[in-house]
Amino acid sequence: MENLQNKYSVDENVVTWDHAAVAEKTLKPTNGESTGKVAGYLLAGILFGIILVKGEIISWYRIQEMFLLDSFHMYGIIGSAVFVAAIGIQIIKSTKTKTFDGQPIIFYKKIFSWGQIIGGTMFGLGWALTGACPGPLYAQFGSGFMAAGVSLFFAIAGTWFYGLLRDKLPH
């Protein structure tokens, strides 16, 4: 795979990606290895779905309990995920870990934007109304909760719509 490190530019801590170039290099299969990678990703997704189902993370009732402050279950799961991710990021930074393709993993300073507040509010409202964030939507639908199909459709439509407007939005 071509070195993707030159496909972005940094100006005053604002990272700009050449999305088309990155997508072209990362989404197109180039050899027999890509089939194995896709199978690995599929297996990881199935395992993730099983964990979501068994941990009751996809349960609409568990999510409502969280938003009504009736149960610690979801807060404990989310908190432990943040804790594990923080440790993982520190390990990546301290060991200068590289990607499977040998690319450096770079963490950029985050810049505040009101879009983060607006987007986070919209995400939270959608989560509270539908009983799912994007990951569990697939697990809910795959588990036979057909009503989740409506939320899944609009999540995908919203992502597609954002893609249409991305260049016109302030970032």
pLDDT at res. 2: 47
**What pLDDT score was predicted for residue 92?**
93
pLDDT the model gives residue 4: 47
Position 83 scores a pLDDT of 97
Q: What is the pLDDT of residue 35?
A: 74
27-to-22, 24, 34, 35 alpha-carbon distances in Å: 8, 6, 9, 12
CA atoms of 12 and 110, how far apart (whole Å): 11
Sequential DSSP letters for 38-91: HHHHHHHHHHHHHHHHHTTTT-HHHHHHHHTT--SHHHHHHHHHHHHHHHHHHH
Q: Spell out the per-residue pLDDT of the chain, length 171, in tens.
A: 444 444 445 455 444 555 555 555 555 555 556 777 788 888 998 898 888 889 888 888 888 888 889 999 999 999 999 999 999 999 999 998 888 788 888 888 888 888 889 889 988 888 888 878 877 888 888 888 888 889 889 989 988 998 898 888 776
Which among 15, 40, 24, 28 has a CA at the least distance from the CA of 100? 40
